[in-house]
């Protein structure tokens, strides 16, 4: 699914400088061991439900931030607000008719849908006819405007709650990526509403309904899996050649189950050289003992661990939190013009383009080297760094072939910026720093909107250039294994047949055995460039016939260019073959999407 260390979903830590100020940033040595977010209230109070729906964890971070602010507010007013946090996947524990104030933090994932774990809850709200007139609510919708349906899940649920009679306390805010300015603004508005909104004092009905944590291995409690196999899938001759690898992880004994279309989440470690560089700039030996941070996955080390280990496992050394610049600026006596200029338009990278450009090209160590941060305490620096997030890769093998092995197909990220070699954390961890037999923490990420048809007679068209081929290798294995009769048609594209034709031998074998119709676009093997979308237009007749036969269409890969170009090509096919005008063709494809016959697993890098 995602194979870039700069992937846009990588989330911030929950603390931001703006409200805390550098002097009151959390002391990371005391935070953590107690999970204050699981408070159970036994005394009567004014209950507030913070519900989050998350795919990658950022909504949970935001929910925790909101929780902290509500607790602070309650203490400052000497009032008895009782916020509690619940993951929407545990929605069966809630009774909306007992709730008075719902604060909903919801991400949009996939191609404009609600996060997969939250789907049963989401569908329940979308279909219920309950009367919610007693309920006050507000929605914070998380998303990324690079996607076609910006914050759609949040918008849909907001309209639905209003339709069911709930009282929208304040307007929904749409958050573009990790824009803490918008998040903080929303939180401030919520808090000012609390002065006036009437919430009855009650006993917390939820105290008897805590979620049980018997879910097995998951994002917050990954399984430590052994890498069984690793091999190169490409031939790298020049430095800008594609470098893609195939890795296999052993899931035996984990109880983890996956379905073709799902992704494998992997927790990487930072490159020790990057850690050493940062420690050297910080003037530290790395031996300082600190507690692991709040977001550390289970099992967390019991006591304190060295700063070196902490940086290697839990902190993002590549992506910079804008607040880090702010604390450095605060710590400086003299005006630093460069820093002031960068921050003059605020900390939101969506609004402050200069800051965005600056941060994109740098890592944490570059910023510390560039500006004099010396009066900023180490803890403050850490508090203003992002947490190292898991990376997600579509599983490229079918569980029908081997349910204990999850294969992934990984494009290794290496590039040059400002004359310096940069690299992806997870992809180089897998390629350079991890040998077969070694282990890393993994979990399964469901992709319920990317599934083979139940009817094995139906043909499928798969469009997956580059590593977009990954889930289709799983699909084809699965269809061969369960003796599906429907035709398998794959559109694959890469630069050169001889260098980066992934799984070339396997694909050819499947073609020879009659399991696969393979169409390839090698963009650089001839004078004029050719891509998968060009092949779709060439094959208009085949594509149209396959759709007329009830076929399912799948697209996997880059969301920004490839999937839009493929969509345009499909519009062309419908127009030329189906005698439709532009708007009819567009409606036809929308209908295909709605009936789950046109599914996408696409991402923005």
Ligand X SMILES: Cc1cc2nc3c(=O)[nH]c(=O)nc-3n(C[C@H](O)[C@H](O)[C@H](O)COP(=O)(O)O)c2cc1C
Taking CB under 6 A as the criterion, the residue among 22, 57, 459, 464 binding ligand X is 57
Task: Tell the smallest beta-carbon distance from residue 20 to ligand X (Å).
Answer: 21
Q: How near is the Cβ of 179 to ligand X at its closest, in Å?
A: 10
* Shortest Å distance, C-beta 51 to ligand X: 12
Smallest distance from the beta carbon of 327 to ligand X, in angstroms?
23
**Cβ nearer to ligand X, comparing 121 with 373:** 121
478 binds ligand X (CB under 6 A): no
- Residue 108 interacts with ligand X (CB under 6 A): yes or no: yes
Q: Which two tokens stand for residue 572?
A: 């062309």
Tokens 């031939």 label which residue?
235
Name which position in 22, 45, 83, 112 contacts ligand X (CB under 6 A): 112
375 secondary structure, DSSP code: T
Q: Least separation, in Å, of the C-beta of 59 and ligand X?
A: 3
Q: Which is nearer to ligand X, 409 or 546 (CB)?
A: 409
Which residue of the chain is nearest ligand X when measured via CB? Answer: 143
Structure tokens, 82 = 């009782």
Asked if residue 317 lies in contact with residue 58, where contact means CB atoms within 8 angstroms, the answer is no
Q: Which stretch binds ligand X (CB under 6 A): 33-41, 108-116, 127-135, 427-435?
A: 108-116
To the nearest whole angstrom, how small is the minimum distance from the Cβ of residue 544 to ligand X?
A: 27
The nearer residue to ligand X, 58 or 81, going by C-beta atoms, is 58
Sole residue written with tokens 């083979």: 452
11 binds ligand X (CB under 6 A): yes
CB-nearer residue toward ligand X: 197 or 604: 604
User: Given the complex with ligand X, which of 144 and 363 has the nearer CB atom?
Assistant: 144
Shortest spacing between CB 88 and ligand X, in angstroms: 11
- Using the rule CB under 6 A, is 58 a contact of ligand X? yes
115 binds ligand X (CB under 6 A): yes
Interacting positions 143-202 with ligand X (CB under 6 A): 143-144, 147, 149-152
Residues in the interface with ligand X (CB under 6 A) total 27
Structural contact between residues 66 and 102, judged by C-beta atoms closer than 8 angstroms: no
- Secondary structure of 394-456 in the HEC alphabet? EECCCCCCCCCEEEEEEECCEEEECCEEEECHHHHHHHHCCCCCCEEEEEEECCCCCCCCCCC
Stretches 32-40, 105-113, 351-359, 462-470: which one binds ligand X (CB under 6 A)? 105-113
Cβ contacts of 201 within 8 Å, gap of 6 or more: 44, 45, 46, 80
Supply the minimum distance, in Å, between the C-beta of residue 58 and ligand X: 3
| 475 binds ligand X, rule: CB under 6 A | no
> HEC states along 363-383?
CHHHHHHHCCCCCCCHHHHHH
Element spanning 567, H or E:
helix 562-578
Contacts for 171 with CB less than 8 Å, ≥ 6 apart: 138
Up-side HSE of residue 91: CA atoms within 13 Å toward CB?
A: 17
Please enumerate in sequence order all residues whose Cβ is within 8 A of that of 279, keeping only pairs 6 or more positions apart, or say none. Answer: 285, 286, 307, 308, 311
Tally helices (H) and strands (E) across the chain. Answer: 20, 21
3-state helix, strand, coil in the chain (%, to 5): 35, 20, 45
Maximum Cα interatomic distance, the chain, rounded to a whole number of Å: 75
Which of 70, 107, 364, 494 contacts ligand X by CB under 6 A? 107
Q: How far is the CB of 110 from ligand X (least distance, A)?
A: 6
Contact residue for ligand X among 54, 394, 398, 405 (CB under 6 A):
54
Task: Please report, to the nearest 10 degrees, the dihedral formed by the alpha carbons of residues 106, 107, 112, 117 taken in order.
Answer: -80
Residues that bind ligand X (CB under 6 A): 1-2, 8-9, 11, 54-59, 107-112, 115, 142-144, 147, 149-152, 603
């Amino acid at each position: 699914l995602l194979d870039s260390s700069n992937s846009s979903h990588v989330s911030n830590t929950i603390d931001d400088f703006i409200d805390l100020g550098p002097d009151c940033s959390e002391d990371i040595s005391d935070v953590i061991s107690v999970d204050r977010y699981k408070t159970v209230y036994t005394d009567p109070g004014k209950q507030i439900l913070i519900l989050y729906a998350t795919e990658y964890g950022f909504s949970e971070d935001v929910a925790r931030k909101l929780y902290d602010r509500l607790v602070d507010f309650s203490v400052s007013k000497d009032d008895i607000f009782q916020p509690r946090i619940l993951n929407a996947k545990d929605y069966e524990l809630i009774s909306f008719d007992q709730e008075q104030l719902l604060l909903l933090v919801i991400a949009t994932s996939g191609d404009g849908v609600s996060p997969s774990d939250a789907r049963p809850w989401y569908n329940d709200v979308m279909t219920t006819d309950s009367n919610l007139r007693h309920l006050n609510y507000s929605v914070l919708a998380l998303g990324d405007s690079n996607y076609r349906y910006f914050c759609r899940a949040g918008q849909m649920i907001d309209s639905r709650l209003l339709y069911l009679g709930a009282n929208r306390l304040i307007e929904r805010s749409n958050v573009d990526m990790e824009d803490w300015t918008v998040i903080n603004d929303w939180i401030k508005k919520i808090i000012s509403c609390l002065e006036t909104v009437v919430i009855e004092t009650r006993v917390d009905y939820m105290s008897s309904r805590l979620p049980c944590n018997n879910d097995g291995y998951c994002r917050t409690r990954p399984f430590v899996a052994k890498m069984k196999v690793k091999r190169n899938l490409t031939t790298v001759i020049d430095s800008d050649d594609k470098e893609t690898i195939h890795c296999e992880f052993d899931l035996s004994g984990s109880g983890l189950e996956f379905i073709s279309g799902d992704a494998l989440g992997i927790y990487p470690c930072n490159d020790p050289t990057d850690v050493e560089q940062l420690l050297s700039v910080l003037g530290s030996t790395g031996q300082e003992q600190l507690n692991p941070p709040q977001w550390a996955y289970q099992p967390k080390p019991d006591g304190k661990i060295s700063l070196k280990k902490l940086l290697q496992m839990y902190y993002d050394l590549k992506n910079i939190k804008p607040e880090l610049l702010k604390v450095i600026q605060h710590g400086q006596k003299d005006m630093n013009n460069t820093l002031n200029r960068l921050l003059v338009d605020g900390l939101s990278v969506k609004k402050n383009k200069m800051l965005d450009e600056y941060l994109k090209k740098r890592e944490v160590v570059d910023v510390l080297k560039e500006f004099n941060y010396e009066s900023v305490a180490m803890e403050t620096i850490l508090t203003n760094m992002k947490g190292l997030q898991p990376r997600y890769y579509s599983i490229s093998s079918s569980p029908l072939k081997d349910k204990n092995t999850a294969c992934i197909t990984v494009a290794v990220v290496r590039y040059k910026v400002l004359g310096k070699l940069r690299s992806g954390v997870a992809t180089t961890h897998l390629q350079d720093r991890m040998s077969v037999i070694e282990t890393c923490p993994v979990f399964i990420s469901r992709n319920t909107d990317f599934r083979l048809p139940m009817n094995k007679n139906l043909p499928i068209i798969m469009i997956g250039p580059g590593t977009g081929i990954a889930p289709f290798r799983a699909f084809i294995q699965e269809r061969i294994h369960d003796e599906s009769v429907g035709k398998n048609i794959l559109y694959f594209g890469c630069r050169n047949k001889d260098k980066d034709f992934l799984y070339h031998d396997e694909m050819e074998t499947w073609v020879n055995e009659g399991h696969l119709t393979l169409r390839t676009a090698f963009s650089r093997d001839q004078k004029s460039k050719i891509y998968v979308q060009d092949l779709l237009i060439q094959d208009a007749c085949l594509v149209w016939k396959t759709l007329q036969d009830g076929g399912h269409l799948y697209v996997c890969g880059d969301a920004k260019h490839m999937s839009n170009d493929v969509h345009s090509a499909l519009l062309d096919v419908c127009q030329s073959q189906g005698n439709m005008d532009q708007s009819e063709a567009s409606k036809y494809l929308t209908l295909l999407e709605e009936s789950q016959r046109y599914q996408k697993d696409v991402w923005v890098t």
